[in-house]
A and B are shown apart, each in its own frame.
Chain A
């Protein structure tokens, strides 16, 4: 069965420090991978998605970046965190159904607090 792991679960970082959130998927090949951010009490904002190794699409200009060094590994990074980077970050994977539907499976999330 497919599983998705995301870590760390909680992170408190000072402004200006680097960030690395990691996500791995097991039990599937060539998944579409996503990073979302969710502000408190709000919906989901798509940050990055990837359809294959080394293929990253950015949805929102920001000081974050994403990388996909392996088929089932997706990393969210920042060189210097801002206060506004605080939030709940969610990794997800999906496969496209034959009907064209794209159903996401999410990780447990990483709560980032920038102080």
Chain B
């Protein structure tokens, strides 16, 4: 079942601009992850933020988590054409089976050169 909802569904920006994608979820989480998918390829894990963390950085990526609002954002700074891809959030949970992630529907990002 889908829990995460990313917005916007699609985003088109110019190279060098920042891209912000948001993810909302419904139930309590252990962690939230962001993945990237190039067209026709498998997903690649980008970054994980735990429920007790508020912000995390990895290179040009910045992820924030607001558990009170049940939302997260992914910021890509100084975007490049190679950042063009779909970005998915996925939530991990403690209760019951923690082996299953719950996925959002993704944000399609186009970075125009």
Given contacts A90-B43, A109-B41, A43 and B106 within 8 Å (CB-CB): yes
Contact residue among B48, B50, B88, B94 (Cβ-Cβ distance under 8 Å from A44): B88
- The answer, yes or no, to whether A51 is at the interface (CB within 8 Å) is yes
Within the complex, what minimum Cβ distance (angstroms) separates B7 from chain A? 13
Within the complex, what minimum Cβ distance (angstroms) separates B75 from chain A? 21
Task: Find the residue from A6, A42, A102 having the highest chain B CB count within 10 A.
Answer: A102
Within the complex, what minimum Cβ distance (angstroms) separates B40 from chain A? 7
Given contacts A90-B43, A111-B40, A103 and B33 within 8 Å (CB-CB): yes
Give how many A-B residue pairs fall within 8 Å (CB-CB).
64
B103 engages A101 (CB within 8 Å): no
Contact residue among B94, B100, B105 (Cβ-Cβ distance under 8 Å from A42): B105
Within 8 A of A (CB), among B3-56: 30-31, 33, 35, 40-45, 48, 50
B50 engages A99 (CB within 8 Å): yes
Complex interface: chain B residues within 8 A of A102 (CB): 92, 98-101
- The answer, yes or no, to whether A61 is at the interface (CB within 8 Å) is no
Given contacts A43-B103, A49-B99, A96-B99, A108 and B50 within 8 Å (CB-CB): no
A103 engages B48 (CB within 8 Å): yes
Within 8 A of B (CB), among A67-108: 88, 90, 92, 94, 96, 99-108
Complex interface: chain B residues within 8 A of A19 (CB): none
Give the interface of B toward A (CB within 8 A).
2, 30-31, 33, 35, 40-45, 48, 50, 88, 90, 92, 94, 98-101, 103-106
Closest 5 CB pairs of A and B: A106-B42, A43-B105, A44-B103, A101-B31, A106-B43
